[in-house]
Structure 1
Amino acid sequence: MMLAGLGVGALALAEGLKPRKRLILLKGQTLEEALPVAFGEWESQTASGLVTPEQAGRLAKTLYSEIVQRTYLDQASGAEVMLLVAYGDTQSDLLQLHRPESCYPAVGFTIELSEPLDVALGGRASLPARRVIATTEDRRENIIYWSRLGERLPRDGEQQRADRLANAMEGYVPDGILVRCSALGDSAGAFAILERFVPDLLRAASGGARPALVGTKLSNELAGLRPT
Structure 2
Amino acid sequence: MKKRSIIGLTMGGLMLIAALCTKAVTPTLRLSDTRPKIILGTAIPTKFGDWQEDASQVAAVVNPTTVAELNKIYAETLSRTYVNRQGNRIMLSIAYGTDQRDNLSVHFPEGCYGGQGFAVGQTSQVVLPTVAGGIATSRTVATLNSRVEPITYWVVVGDKAVPNSWEVKKVKLAYALQGMIPDATLMRVSSIGEDIEQGYQLQQSFIDQLLQSMPPDLRGHFSGTSH
TM range (shorter): 0.7 to 0.9
Q: Conserved in 2, the CA contact under 8 Å of 1:177 and 1:213?
A: yes
1:168 counterpart residue number? 176
Q: Conserved in 1, the CA contact under 8 Å of 2:154 and 2:164?
A: no
Of the candidates 16, 21, 29, which is equivalent to residue 21 of structure 1? 29
1:78 and 2:83 correspond: no
1:63 counterpart residue number? 73
Aligned pairs (5 A) from 1:132-151:
132-151=140-159
CA distance in 2, matches of 1:11, 1:219: 35
- Unmatched 5+ residue regions in structure 1? 221-228
Of the candidates 184, 191, 210, which is equivalent to residue 183 of structure 1? 191
Structure 1 residues 26, 80: CA separation in 2 closer, same or farther (over 3 Å shift)? farther
1:224 counterpart residue number? none
The DSSP-based 3-state class of the residue aligned with 2:168 is helix
**Percent identity of paired positions between Structure 1 and Structure 2:** 28
Root mean square deviation, CA, Å:
2.3
Aligned pairs (5 A) from 1:61-140:
61-75=71-85, 77-122=86-131, 125-140=133-148
Whichever residue aligns with residue 63 of structure 2, its letter is: T
Whichever residue aligns with residue 63 of structure 1, its letter is: I
- Unmatched 5+ residue regions in structure 2? 1-7
CA distance in 1, matches of 2:35, 2:142: 30
1:35 and 2:36 correspond: no
- Cα deviation 1:179-209 (Å, max 9, x = unaligned): 1010000212211111111111111122232
Whichever residue aligns with residue 53 of structure 1, its letter is: P
1:48 and 2:56 correspond: no
Whichever residue aligns with residue 85 of structure 1, its letter is: I
CA distance in 2, matches of 1:59, 1:154: 23
Identify the structure with the greater strand proportion.
Answer: 1
Q: Conserved in 2, the CA contact under 8 Å of 1:26 and 1:211?
A: no
**Number of residue pairs matched by the alignment:** 215
Q: Conserved in 1, the CA contact under 8 Å of 2:120 and 2:141?
A: yes
Q: Conserved in 1, the CA contact under 8 Å of 2:155 and 2:161?
A: yes
Identify the structure with the greater helix proportion.
Answer: 2
Give the structure-2-normalised TM-score. 0.85
The DSSP-based 3-state class of the residue aligned with 2:24 is helix
CA distance in 1, matches of 2:140, 2:130: 19
CA distance in 2, matches of 1:135, 1:6: 49
**What is the deviation of 1:2?**
4.9
CA distance in 1, matches of 2:122, 2:16: 49
**What is the deviation of 1:166?**
2.2
1:152 counterpart residue number? 160
CA distance in 2, matches of 1:122, 1:207: 11
Structure 1 residues 78, 219: CA separation in 2 closer, same or farther (over 3 Å shift)? farther
- Which structure would you say has the larger Rg? 2
Give the structure-1-normalised TM-score. 0.85
The DSSP-based 3-state class of the residue aligned with 2:60 is coil
Aligned pairs (5 A) from 1:203-214:
203-214=212-223
Q: Conserved in 2, the CA contact under 8 Å of 1:26 and 1:212?
A: no
